[in-house]
Amino acid sequence: MSDPAARPRRTRPTGRRPGNPDTREAVLAAARATFAERGFDGASIRVIATAAGVDPALVHHYFGSKDKLFLAAIEAPADPEELLPELLAGGTADLGASVVRLLLQVWDGPGRAAGLALVRSAVTNEWTARLLREFLVSQVLRRVVGTLGLPRAEGEARGSLVASQLIGVVMARYVLRVEPLASASADELVAAIGPTVQRYLTGDVDLPGVVAPST
Amino acid sequence: MSDPAARPRRTRPTGRRPGNPDTREAVLAAARATFAERGFDGASIRVIATAAGVDPALVHHYFGSKDKLFLAAIEAPADPEELLPELLAGGTADLGASVVRLLLQVWDGPGRAAGLALVRSAVTNEWTARLLREFLVSQVLRRVVGTLGLPRAEGEARGSLVASQLIGVVMARYVLRVEPLASASADELVAAIGPTVQRYLTGDVDLPGVVAPST
């Protein structure tokens, strides 16, 4: 997050950011609509700039990359591009535990407010649901699963199973507050739930949508 | 659901139900407030009746049991007291798979609209979040875990882990629609996710909040 313009935020900007605030908001609104409609992969800075009525070079100047623009548009609770590389460098044997630990670091930390706002909006708004799904798939799961060198269909199947457990931890711990999970320490949850995520990532699983599971 | 008055519903009653509709609504509103404030265990028909300004015998007459009143008050997508006994009679070896299968039967069937309404409300409203948690804990998890004869703290810990996976399946499949999980068949999901729930129920897990895990 070296570029403050790319930082997810909850309110109107208070620090110095490049460019006209109205132009920034127009770009972010166009980005939200385009990412929701086309998905992360199908959207481009060029299309978003056109929709916002600005030059693509200006969007690059304001936000940097398509990833950073996406994170700003959805007000993401954290930047996986910053947080994940260290985790992924640790090898695959403890990947499940590391993913759970990182999730809890973000949600037990300053990312919780933005995360809750995103989940609340996604549950009540179909377009935000698409944006949250794109965030999970393109920014988190694809990076995590990408380290495993799997065929695409298998990677997506394993990623969607991982998503089901991670979203469930967020809902059970931070939204519904089911005890004792809600009050457990991060270490306890990593020990209990890490093996599930590890199994989904690298274990012997009958994968949905994959004809021949890798065993 | 032999008593139609106890059936969860999405709209104003259209069939014949005992009693004055305004009285019914007053009892249901008092029930929602009381269950949210005191939890399922802490609430009683007597307290709810007093809050609604009616005689407890009338509440019993309208709704039958505290369980049925609770289901009506939260407009539950299904009645676990009806659905679970058959599942629980099947023994504990396949309990995880059976729980996932039942969840999908309810959510892939006519319970989805009511379920989604409940989840949407829970995510945006703290009081409904408490009611959904009480539903999960008192109506679902306690019955499922109860068949295992575990010490109370261990049962609650295992139940909360099960909750994290089940809520996550609902969110990933029906709200965010993460593929291929969203389009997978029930059989595929039972095969992939059933073992996780089974491990949480009966496996060797480092349980949160439990000093000596059962191994």
| pLDDT (0 to 100) of residue B17 | 59
Are B99 and B162 a contacting pair, CB within 8 Å? yes
Per-residue tokens: B46: 């007597």
Mean pLDDT, residues B184-189 = 97
| pLDDT (0 to 100) of residue A143 | 93
- Inform me whether the pLDDT recorded for B7 exceeds 60: no
Helix (H, G, I), strand (E, B) or coil at A93: coil
Query: Using CA atoms, how far apart are residues A91 and A124, in angstroms rounded to an integer?
Result: 38
With beta carbons under 8 A apart, name residues in chain A contacting B196.
165, 196, 199
| pLDDT (0 to 100) of residue A16 | 52
Q: By the CB < 8 Å criterion, does B186 face chain A?
A: no
- Give the list of residues 6+ apart from residue B179 with CB closer than 8 angstroms, or none: A156, A160, A209
- Inform me whether the pLDDT recorded for A168 exceeds 60: yes
Dihedral sign of CA atoms A74, A75, A76, A80 in order: positive
% of chain B at pLDDT higher than 90: 76
Q: Which of B145, B156, B160 to mutate to test the interface with A (most CBs of A within 10 A)?
A: B160
Query: Using CA atoms, how far apart are residues B40 and B131, in angstroms rounded to an integer?
Result: 8
- Inform me whether the pLDDT recorded for B192 exceeds 70: yes
| pLDDT (0 to 100) of residue A17 | 59
What DSSP designation does A91 have? -
Q: Which of A176, A197, A198 to mutate to test the interface with B (most CBs of B within 10 A)?
A: A176
- Inform me whether the pLDDT recorded for A2 exceeds 80: no
% of chain B at pLDDT higher than 70: 89
Nearest by Cα to A111 from A85, A79, A82: A79
With beta carbons under 8 A apart, name residues in chain A contacting B161.
181, 192-193
- Inform me whether the pLDDT recorded for A126 exceeds 50: yes
Q: By the CB < 8 Å criterion, does B208 face chain A?
A: yes
Q: By the CB < 8 Å criterion, does B133 face chain A?
A: yes
| pLDDT (0 to 100) of residue A6 | 40
- Inform me whether the pLDDT recorded for A14 exceeds 70: no
Mean pLDDT, residues A151-176 = 97
Are B22 and B58 a contacting pair, CB within 8 Å? no
- Inform me whether the pLDDT recorded for A213 exceeds 80: no
Per-residue tokens: B128: 């409904």
**More confidently predicted of A18 and A86:** A86
| pLDDT (0 to 100) of residue A86 | 86
Query: Using CA atoms, how far apart are residues B91 and B86, in angstroms rounded to an integer?
Result: 10
**More confidently predicted of A213 and A40:** A40
With beta carbons under 8 A apart, name residues in chain A contacting B153.
180
For residue B185, the chain A residue with the least C-alpha distance is: A208
**Chain A: closest CA distance from residue B65 (Å):** 24
Residues composing chain B? 215
Tell me the per-residue pLDDT of B91-110, one tens digit each, with 9 for 90 and over: 899 999 999 999 999 999 98
Nearest by Cα to B165 from A189, A95, A32: A189
| pLDDT (0 to 100) of residue A4 | 36
Average pLDDT value for chain A: 88
Q: Which of A95-104, B11-20, B34-43 has the lowest mean pLDDT?
A: B11-20
Q: Which of A107-121, B88-102, B150-164 has the highest mean pLDDT?
A: B150-164
Query: Using CA atoms, how far apart are residues B166 and A198, in angstroms rounded to an integer?
Result: 18
Q: By the CB < 8 Å criterion, does B182 face chain A?
A: yes
Are A166 and B168 a contacting pair, CB within 8 Å? yes
| pLDDT (0 to 100) of residue A22 | 86
Q: Which of B127, B161, B193 to mutate to test the interface with A (most CBs of A within 10 A)?
A: B161
- Give the list of residues 6+ apart from residue A8 with CB closer than 8 angstroms, or none: A71, A72, A74, A75, A76, A77, A78, A79, A114
- Inform me whether the pLDDT recorded for B4 exceeds 80: no
Q: Which pLDDT band, with edges at 50, 70 and 90, does B12 fall under?
A: very low
Amino acid at A61: H
With beta carbons under 8 A apart, name residues in chain A contacting B172.
160, 163-164, 167
Query: Using CA atoms, how far apart are residues A116 and A122, in angstroms rounded to an integer?
Result: 10
Per-residue tokens: B146: 């109860």
108-127 in chain B: CB under 8 A from chain A: 119-120, 122-124
- Inform me whether the pLDDT recorded for B80 exceeds 80: yes
**Chain B: closest CA distance from residue A132 (Å):** 7
Instruction: Tell me which residue in A122, A124, A165 faces B176 most closely, judged by beta carbons.
Output: A122
With beta carbons under 8 A apart, name residues in chain B contacting A131.
none
Are A186 and A93 a contacting pair, CB within 8 Å? no
Q: By the CB < 8 Å criterion, does A163 face chain B?
A: yes
- Inform me whether the pLDDT recorded for B59 exceeds 80: yes
| pLDDT (0 to 100) of residue B3 | 38
Amino acid at B161: L
- Inform me whether the pLDDT recorded for B199 exceeds 50: yes
With beta carbons under 8 A apart, name residues in chain A contacting B193.
161, 164
**Chain B: closest CA distance from residue A123 (Å):** 6
| pLDDT (0 to 100) of residue A209 | 84
Instruction: Tell me which residue in B123, B133, B164 faces A120 most closely, judged by beta carbons.
Output: B123
- Inform me whether the pLDDT recorded for A34 exceeds 70: yes
| pLDDT (0 to 100) of residue A212 | 59
- Inform me whether the pLDDT recorded for A10 exceeds 60: no
- Give this complex's ipTM: 0.86
| pLDDT (0 to 100) of residue B10 | 46
Per-residue tokens: B175: 């709200």
Identify the structural domains of chain A with CATH numbers, from first to last. 4-12+19-74 (1.10.10.60), 80-202 (1.10.357.10)
Average pLDDT value for chain B: 88
| pLDDT (0 to 100) of residue B212 | 58
Mean pLDDT, residues B122-146 = 92
